[in-house]
Amino acid sequence: MHRSFRPTASLMADLKIGLLGGSFNPAHQGHRDITLAALRRLGLDQVWWLVTPGNPLKRTGSYAAYDKRIAEAQHVANHPQIHVSDFEQRHQLRFTVDTLGALKMRFPRTSFVWLMGADSLAGFHRWKSWRDIGQAIPFAVFNRPGHLLPALSSPAAHAFAKRRLPEEAAKTLPYLSGGHWTMVTGTANPQSATALRAARPRWVSSD
């Protein structure tokens, strides 16, 4: 059984925390590269990997067991400022909009920034209440090979175009209100969970 990361509100007060959500099926170096870039470019104190019990946009049968995904994420993270969290499983949350509401209620003095790859921004308009998510929290988007132009031409990028910050202003994001965002172009790790699962098909198992 994995050892859970369960911070208290008092310990997290006044900290700048990046949130990277996903199935981490499996976690890989691309996740870590984005996270390290976020710590550096946004001036964050920590990044939390929120491992979802199940992405509503993906087939549930494609997942490895939850504890296995958590353990692999902890192995890949391997950094004192990266924490792997089972928050969504413990609170029975499946949608990002609900997760953000719960986190902000539990940690009212913490400054959160949502982190995502450019491929996620390209499909962000398919997420439940995506406009509410974007208005609730500032977010940083990290380039992935082949996804920059689709991301920048996406409905979400157009919806929040007026609040986009230049990349050199990324460190101001944790101090800003929801809707503000920036694109970090210096990350370009091509690794994907889909390719990793194809290379080791026995990764997937039933819970």
Full-prediction pTM beyond 0.85?
yes
- 142: Cα within 13 Å, side-chain hemisphere: 25
pLDDT-derived band at 10 (thresholds 50, 70, 90) equals very high
Q: What tens digit of pLDDT does each residue of 16-73 get? A: 999 999 999 999 999 999 999 999 999 999 999 999 987 666 655 678 999 999 999 9
Q: Within its chain, how far is the Cα of 122 from the centroid?
A: 14
Q: What tens digit of pLDDT does each residue of 119-168 get? A: 999 999 999 999 999 999 999 999 988 889 999 999 999 999 999 999 99
CA distance from start to end of the chain: 14
pLDDT at 199 over 50: no
Q: What is the pLDDT of residue 1?
A: 45
CA distance readout (Å), 186 to 33, 65, 108, 116, 118: 10, 33, 32, 14, 12
Residue spans per domain, the chain: 14-203
The arithmetic mean of pLDDT across residues 199-207, rounded, is 48
What residues does 184 pair with on adjacent strands?
A: 142
Q: Both tokens of residue 148?
A: 């920059």
pLDDT-derived band at 5 (thresholds 50, 70, 90) equals confident
Q: What is the pLDDT of residue 16?
A: 98
Instruction: Judge contact between 17 and 111, C-beta under 8 A.
Output: yes
Q: What is the CATH number of domain 14-203?
A: 3.40.50.620
